[in-house]
A and B are shown apart, each in its own frame.
Chain A
Amino acid sequence: MTAPAPTSTVVRCRINGRDVEMLVPVRLTVAELLRDRLGLTGTKVSCEMQVCGVCTVLVDGNPVSSCATLACDLDGTEVLTVEGLARGRNLHPVQEAFMDANALQCGFCTPGFIMMAVALLDAHPDADQAEVREWMDGNLCRCTGYAPIETAVTVAASRMDAQ
């Protein structure tokens, strides 16, 4: 008789600069790890099938749907969530741009949009409007009608460019 497959595994990673070592069930998602185990509730969950983007976090700099990624796959990675963006009291330029452009209402989609925008501007600091529209098309917002979000990302791009 073969031993049953392990149902938990140890994951070691860095989340927002903090070293994390945890025994996690293999089926635990990254979103569950963040929200339920670590109290990082800034990351939200909605569609649970990689359509809405609210759960976006960065894993080794790449945008990832935390609802559809297993926590055990984080082993050896560096994770950034919305809580880890600001430097102390200083917001990330993308966060500032979202405030300035009034790019949020209920705010539930906001962390996901912000993380996706950070990923975009890291990869393409001089992103043009078409790139902004393409990258952000995978994030849903039900409140704003998107126009202010597009503006926020464009504004952040130009501000970061100027820096």
Chain B
Amino acid sequence: MTSPRSDAWEKVTGRARYAVDAVLPNMAHAAVVRSERAHAYLTGIDRAEAEAAPGVIAVVTAEDLGDLGRRFGHIVPDHAILAVDKVRYYGEPVAVVVAETPHQAADAAELVWVDYDDLPALTDAVTALASDVLIHEQSYVEPGQKFLDVAPAASTDNIAHRNELAWGDAEAALAAAATVVETTTTFPLVYGYAMETYNALADWQPGSLHVVSTAQHPLMVRRELARMFSLPLAAVRVEVPYIGGGYGSKSYTKLEPLAAAASWAAGRPVKVTTDVEAAMYTTRADGALVTVRTGFDADARICARDIDIRFDTGAYADNSPLVLTKSINRSFGPYRIPNLRVRGVAAYTNTSPASSYRGFGAPQAALAGELNMDMAADRLGIDPVELRRRNLLAPGDTIIDGKRPLDADLAADLDAIVFALDQHAFERDAAVQAGGDQHAADQHDAVDVGIRRGRAVAVTASDAGASPISTAQVRMHADGSVTLLVSSTEMGQGSRTALAQIAARELCVSIEAVAVGQSDTRFTPFEWTTGASRTTTVVGLAVQAACADLWDNLRVKAAESAGVPVDDVVVHGGRVHLAAEVSNTVSGLGAGGDVVGEHGTGLGAGAAGALGAGERGTGAADAAPVVKDSGSGLTPAEVIRQWFGADAGEVVGVGVVRRDGATAVLPPFWEIGAVGVEVSVDVATGEVTVEHLVTVGDVGHAVNPDLVKGQDLGAATQGLGIALWEEMVYDGEQLTNPNLVEYRVPRLRDTPRRITSVLAERGDGAGPYGAKGAGEGALNPVPAAVAAAVGRAVGVWPTELPLTPPRVWSLLQQAQQ
């Protein structure tokens, strides 16, 4: 059910605390001196003038960092805190100035003089892969080193990572195919633009490090900081208040080492912030050049796909090796493909480092893959929806051997999209006809003369990179209310609300009785990451497990208080009973332990009605605790008070998720993207208007439908941004549009004229109540769908995004030739 967001009041009154609002006593401010070359040796840094400037406390360069572990990078430790010996992209941090005020720091940063010895700048992947000039002259990878299933490339020939996936014999099958259709697309360099730009406040003290930052994955950052500063994990505290937008762009370590090193050097807490330009230098998404060749047999069934992916990963690897691996898995689509070969390379280039961004390799690959399906449909003379239907995998089919079978019904999703698109077209035509008089019809035609329309659908399936490592803690207080502790970060997705709903439902309390703490590694329990749309599913399972553990502990306490064996105590209807009391009224209950076991894991799977909340598909969050059906037994609060012998105390439940049980098979779910668009193109200007956007949130179960729809529309809108406007443009060494005037993101008046948001709730997920993840899915197919729709409208298939008016106009010119 939809519960209002628990953070809404704070956020509409301006009271919500974000990392950028954090202050510490005696805090100083940093300004970063950034490279003005894309690729050069550092031959000297003159900081005397800066050091003498008013308010300056310290000017820090790589050589000051002494024996601090100077490099970070959770897959390839290639990233120096401050450039050592050479710079690899325009905007790379070279020095950091710490001063009393931000203005003083910024002024002094202008007085740091850096000398360079220039090297050729390799600013795109094709150039970098062909060059003998090396961006990284050494390998940082220990043999055998791995992060998840990714073993990074040990070579340094401008390759950050290389990977492959294949089965059957794609080459032979393509040679034998009745039709082969080839598509090559360029996916632009894009910037996630979270409105709160990267920032970090660090306080280093002997033996401890406290950081407040915009990190999506505080535990990952903790691990890297602990290593770099030779501290035990427990001594590093990473606190993450509300995050002003993440979308994957704040995954892993960003500014935290810089702030921590500045604090270490200056002996003060130090805050580092970024403006939009510096944020664009900090992380972007991987650009991609992708070629897809698909072979079809005479019945238009796919016999093979051969895919080549080339990422522009920028100067440092960050998470791109994993993004590439995922892109490979997501490139061929949820189709039956007897023969497959996908080859991927992530190239180092002298541009801003790339890493995770919403969709995580899926939009890059799907642009070529799904556009290719449309081009094939055209060539084969088949409706593109029909072509997809003919090749789609069915629920339970294998997508990739050894992974979870497909847990979604894509054909049904497609039906929903087509229905919505048809309905819109029908209503539009009906409206014109209903006008009746000739004048209206004429006007409509007149307006339509300069307009071309096109529509398209696209589908994607992503193996959610949601490593099932998660911990949750529920603390029930003496009045029965609950504090839920998780380390999932709240960046707008509403996880605190959704997880509170799950806890409320499991514990039969109202949602108001559940408080969720902010992520803080000192207090909240371990969480792998907040990304890959994992939270509701994976953390939700941990919350369920924690609630089950809490019930168990309540039973133990009740048994001790009553002086009976614990097996004689059961949980029923949100209360704790002696088994003898309920055995008469409730049939089918086994031993107490079984009942509780069922309670913890079974609610979603339709647990016995006796358990109260189980049968109520909408959850118990909206209702008072289910106590009415029992005239006896104790409430959890009574159990707690009885055991402590006072109106005091608390009982804690801990839940852990690992690769086991519901999450034994990876991925924990396939995240589905299924969208349709109708666009109109103004022939005179090349301007594209999105007339209708249809998203299907194939989420198994929507714990909070409003939140899911919010995720879908937000994600799809970012997809529209990539399709139509967003692109980081390099001209030579330098990014030419490092600001929001020239890097254009979707605005209010760009919103689609009509939006249809469908939720498909088929209970087919492994998460709580059958839930699967949401958050990325609706972005992934959007760039492809828009490209295909524009292609249909203008009569020429686009090959690169974004489809700005000049690009579309030139497609229109090509169409005329």
Contact = CB atoms under 8 A, between A and B. Distances in A.
A48 interface: yes
B242 A106 contact: yes
Given A108-B18, A108-B244, A140 B740 contact: yes
A109 B195 contact: yes
Most chain B beta carbons < 10 A, residue from A51, A54, A96, A109: A51
B276 interface: yes
A6 to B, nearest CB: 16
A82 B16 CA distance: 12
Contacts of B21: 35, 41
Contact of B748 (A25, A27, A114, A150): A150
A107 B11 contact: yes
A89 B774 CA distance: 35
B439 interface: no
Interface string B735-761: 000011100011111010001000000
Given A105-B494, A106-B245, A108-B244, A145 B716 contact: yes
B409 interface: no
Contacts of A143: 245, 492, 710, 714
Contact of B13 (A95, A142, A148): A95
Interface string A74-99: 00000001110110000100011011
Interface in A8-50: 25, 27, 32, 35-36, 40-49
Contacts of B194: 106, 108, 142
B491 interface: yes
Contacts of B751: 145-147, 150
Interface SS of chain B = loop
A121 interface: no
A122 interface: no
B4 interface: yes
Nearest to A82: B14
Nearest to A139: B748
Interface string A96-140: 101100101111111100100000000000000000011011011
A114 B12 CA distance: 8
Interface string B118-130: 0000000000000
A72 interface: no
B717 A145 contact: yes
A99 B4 contact: yes
Contacts of A52: 195, 740
Nearest to B22: A41
B779 to A, nearest CB: 11
A51 B244 CA distance: 17
A131 B799 CA distance: 37
Contact of B747 (A25, A27, A140): A140
A149 interface: yes
B5 interface: yes
Contact of B14 (A46, A81, A139): A81
A41 B196 CA distance: 13
B408 interface: no
B244 A107 contact: yes
B169 interface: no
A47 B5 CA distance: 27
A125 to B, nearest CB: 20
Task: Say which size band chain B's interface belongs to.
Answer: 35 or more
Most chain A beta carbons < 10 A, residue from B9, B244, B717: B244
B713 interface: yes
A45 B749 CA distance: 22
Nearest to A148: B710
Nearest to A115: B14
A50 to B, nearest CB: 9
A2 to B, nearest CB: 22
Interface string B385-398: 00000000000000
B103 interface: yes
Nearest to B273: A45
Nearest to B749: A137
B740 A49 contact: yes
Nearest to A84: B14
A134 B748 CA distance: 9
Contacts of B740: 46-47, 49, 51-52, 140
A137 B12 contact: no
B13 A133 contact: no
A146 B747 CA distance: 8
Given A44-B195, A91-B13, A111-B14, A102 B492 contact: no
A102 B243 CA distance: 18
B244 A44 contact: yes
Given A46-B196, A52-B195, A106-B244, A99 B710 contact: no
B547 to A, nearest CB: 26
A51 B242 contact: no
Contact of B749 (A40, A110, A133): A133
Contacts of A51: 739-741
A107 B7 contact: yes
A133 B197 CA distance: 26
A95 B12 contact: yes
A106 B748 contact: no
Contacts of B714: 105, 142-145
Contacts of B491: 106
Interface string B709-721: 0100110111000
Contacts of A133: 748-749
B748 A137 contact: yes
B103 A105 contact: no
Contact of A104 (B11, B103, B739, B741): B11
Nearest to B8: A99
Contacts of A86: 13
Interface string B469-495: 000000000000000000000011110
A66 to B, nearest CB: 13
Contact of A107 (B4, B197, B492, B713): B492
A109 to B, nearest CB: 6
B14 A42 contact: yes
A93 B718 CA distance: 29
B691 to A, nearest CB: 15
Nearest to A132: B748
Contacts of B11: 104, 107, 110
A102 B710 contact: yes
A28 to B, nearest CB: 8
B717 A107 contact: no
B187 interface: no
Interface in B511-567: none
Interface in B693-729: 706-707, 710, 713-714, 716-718
Nearest to A111: B14
A45 B245 CA distance: 13
B49 interface: no
A139 B11 CA distance: 16
Contact of B745 (A42, A54, A140): A140
A5 B492 CA distance: 46
Contacts of B716: 145
Contact of B493 (A44, A105, A137, A145): A105
Interface in A58-82: 81-82
B782 to A, nearest CB: 11
Given A51-B741, A102-B5, A104-B5, A142 B275 contact: no
Interface of B: 4-5, 7-18, 20-21, 102-103, 193-197, 242-247, 275-276, 491-494, 706-707, 710, 713-714, 716-718, 739-741, 745-749, 751, 755
Given A49-B739, A98-B12, A105-B714, 10 more contacts: A25-B103, A44-B18, A51-B739, A83-B13, A98-B8, A107-B492, A110-B12, A145-B751, A145-B755, A150-B748
Closest 5 CB pairs of A and B: A42-B14, A106-B492, A108-B244, A105-B492, A107-B11
27 contacts: A27-B103, A42-B13, A44-B196, A47-B739, A48-B275, A49-B741, A51-B739, A51-B740, A52-B195, A82-B12, A82-B13, A85-B13, A91-B9, A91-B12, A98-B12, A104-B12, A107-B10, A107-B492, A108-B195, A108-B196, A114-B12, A140-B745, A140-B747, A145-B710, A145-B716, A146-B747, A148-B710
